[in-house]
Structure 1
Amino acid sequence: MTADLSMAGDLVFDPYDYAFQDDPYPTYQRLRDEAPVFHAAADDLWVISRHRDVFDVLRNDTVFSNRMGVSLDASAWNPEAHRVMSFLGLDGAEQSRIRKLVSAAFTPRRVRELTPQIQALTDHYLARTFAANAEHGESDWIADFAGKLPMDVISEMMGVPEADRDEVRRLADLVVHREDGVRDVPKAGVEASFTLFEYYGEMVRARRRAPSDDLTSALVETVLEGDQLADGEIMAFLFLMVVAGNETTTKLLGNALFHLAAAPEQKAQVLGDIALVPAWIEETLRHDTSSQMLARYVVEDVEVAGVRIPAGSKALVLLGSANRDERVFTDPTTYDIHRDKAELSEILSFGTGRHFCLGANLARLEARVVLEELVRRVSDFHVHADRAVRVHSTSVRGFASLPVTFTERNR
Structure 2
Amino acid sequence: MTVTDQPDTGIDFDIYDHAVQDDPYPLFARLRDEAPVFHNTEHDYWVLSRHADVYDATRDDESFSNANGVSIDASAWNRHAHTVMSFLAMDPPEQVRLRRLVSKGFTPRRVRELGPLVQRLTHTYLDEAVGREEIDWIGDVAGRIPMDVISDMMGVPAADRDEVRRQADLLVHREDGLRDVPPAGMEAAGWLFSYYADFVAEKKKGATGDDLTTALILAEDEGQRMTDQEITAFLFLMVVAGNETTTKLLGNAMFHLTQHPDQLAEVIADHDLVDPWVEETLRHDTSSQFIARLVTQDWTRHGVTVPAGSQLMFALGAANHDDRVFTDPERFDIHRDPDEFGKILSFGGGRHFCLGANLARLEARLVLRELLSRTRSIQVDHSRAVRFYSANVRGFAHLPMRLEIS
User: Which band: TM-score by shorter chain?
Assistant: over 0.9
| Deviations 1:291-339 (CA, angstroms, capped at 9, x unpaired) | 0001100001111222111010111110000000000000000000000
Over residues 105-164 of structure 1, what are the superposed CA-to-partner deviations in whole Å (9 max), with x where a residue is unaligned? Answer: 000000111111111001001111202x2xxx2100000000000000000000111211
Question: CA separation of 1:196/1:5 partners in 2, compared to 1, >3 Å: closer, same or farther?
Answer: farther
> How far apart, CA to CA, are the structure 2 residues paired with 1:9 and 1:64?
26
Residue 282 of structure 1 aligns with an amino acid whose one-letter code is E
For residues 338-388 of structure 1, give each alpha carbon's deviation from its aligned partner in whole angstroms, at most 9, with x where no partner exists.
000001100000011100000001000001111111111111101000000
1:265 corresponds to: 262
The Cα shift of 1:213 comes to: 2.0
Is 1:197 aligned to residue 200 of structure 2? no
Q: Which residue of 1 aligns with 2:242?
A: 245
Greater Cα offset, 356-365 or 2-11: 2-11
Shift of 1:403: 0.2
Would the alpha carbon gap of residues 5 and 232 (structure 1) be closer, same or farther in structure 2, given more than 3 Å must change? farther
Match of 1:123 in 2: 123
- Percent of aligned positions that are identical: 60
> Where do 1:5-404 residues align within 5 Å?
7-131=7-131, 133=132, 137-211=133-207, 212-404=209-401
Question: TM-score w.r.t. structure 2 length?
Answer: 0.98
Q: CA deviation at 1:5?
A: 10
3-state SS in 1 of match to 2:330: coil
Tell which deviates more after alignment, 351-360 or 304-313. 304-313
**Alpha-carbon distance in 1 for matches of 2:41, 2:215:** 46
Q: Which amino acid aligns with 1:123?
A: H
Matched AA of 1:84: V
Superposition deviation, residue 225 in structure 1 = 1.1
CA contact (8 A) 1:125 1:145 kept: yes
Aligned partner of residue 16 in structure 1, secondary structure: coil
CA distance in 1, matches of 2:10, 2:125: 46
> Which amino acid is 1:114 matched to?
L
For the 8 Å contact 2:154–2:211, the answer to whether it is kept is yes
**Partner Cα separation in structure 2 for residue 43 and residue 383 of structure 1:** 37
Return the alpha-carbon distance in structure 1 between the equivalents of residues 69 and 221 of structure 2. 26
Moved more, 245-254 or 175-184: 175-184
* Contact in 2 for aligned 1:40/1:46 (Cα 8 Å): yes
Post-superposition shift, 1:7? 2.9
CA positional deviation for 1:4: 7.6
Which consecutive unaligned segments of at least 5 residues does structure 1 have?
Answer: none
**Secondary structure of residue in 2 paired with 1:380:** strand
Unaligned regions of 5+ residues in structure 2, if any? none
Alpha-carbon deviation of 1:3?
A: 6.1
User: Which secondary structure state, in structure 1, belongs to the residue aligned with residue 288 of structure 2?
Assistant: coil
State TM-score, norm by structure 1: 0.97
Moved more, 166-175 or 315-324: 166-175
Distance in structure 1 (CA, Å) of the matches to 2:3 and 2:162: 46
The one-letter amino acid paired with 1:363 is A
SS of 2:130's equivalent in the other structure is helix
For the residues of structure 1 that align with 2:4 and 2:25, how far apart are their CA atoms? Answer: 20
> Any conservation in 2 of the 1:292–1:396 contact (CA below 8 Å)?
yes
C-alpha displacement at 1:73, in angstroms? 0.4
Q: Is the 8 A contact 2:69 2:82 kept in 1?
A: yes
Is 1:4–1:39's contact at 8 Å kept on the other side of the alignment?
Answer: no
The whole-number CA distance in structure 1 between the counterparts of 2:9 and 2:20 is 17
Distance in 2, matches of 1:6 and 1:56, equals 22
One-letter amino acid of the counterpart of residue 35, structure 1: A
Query: SS in structure 2 opposite 1:321?
Result: helix
Aligned-partner residue type, residue 360 of structure 1: A
Equivalent residue letter for 2:301: V
Q: Secondary structure at the match of 1:324?
A: coil
- Deviation track 1:261-281 (CA, whole Å, cap 9, x = no partner) reads 001000000000011000000
Aligned partner letter, 2:58: L
Q: Distance between the aligned counterparts of 2:310 and 2:21, measured in 1?
A: 24
How many equivalent residue pairs?
Answer: 405
Distance in 2 between the 1:272 and 1:99 partners?
41
CA gap of 1:226–1:35, structure 2 versus 1, over 3 A, is: same
